[in-house]
Amino acid sequence: MFDWKKEYETGIETIDEKHKELFKIANEAYALLKNDLILDKYDKVVEIINKLLDYCEYHFSTEEKHLLDIGYKKFLSHKVQHEEFIRNLRDENLEKIDQNQDEYIMKILEFFVKWISGHILDRDMDYVKYERTLK
Ligand SMILES: [Fe+2]
């Protein structure tokens, strides 16, 4: 469902590698949604959320360090968006997952779509453009 495309590339290898990992987690969530053989998906959903949180914390800090290194002027607003993503994930009410598992997985998938179109393609590309002007 989530295919990596050339337009997602920042050209910064370490960041692209990390972004590709995000696609992997997104596909895992999609596969879980489509899997009718697993009746209780609760543990898997929690696993995906935790994976996502670990991923965010690690990737965002690497990316933020990079932005500081290049003296990116919109660093703070970029960091705020990262923090918002993490906060939204942390605030998730795990009890709700148990009642409506597939609906919840759909919500996680929406999160990925938003992230890819609103963050990677928009905010991340903005610092890529900025970085290109430095060269
Ligand atoms: Fe970012």
* Residue 50 CA to ligand 1 centre (angstroms): 19
Q: How many CB atoms lie within 10 A of CB 30?
A: 17
Q: pLDDT class for 20, splitting at 50, 70, 90?
A: very high
* Residue 119 CA to ligand 1 centre (angstroms): 6
* Residue 62 CA to ligand 1 centre (angstroms): 10
List CB contacts of 75: < 8 A, sequence separation 6 or more: 64, 67, 68
* Residue 27 CA to ligand 1 centre (angstroms): 20
> How many Cα atoms occupy the beta-carbon half-sphere of 22 within 13 Å?
25
Better-predicted residue by pLDDT, 43 or 91: 43
What pTM, to 2 d.p., does this model score?
0.86
Average pLDDT, the chain: 91
Rounded mean pLDDT of 98-105?
Answer: 86
pLDDT over 70 for what percent of the chain? 100
How far is CA 110 from its chain centroid? 11
Q: pLDDT class for 80, splitting at 50, 70, 90?
A: very high
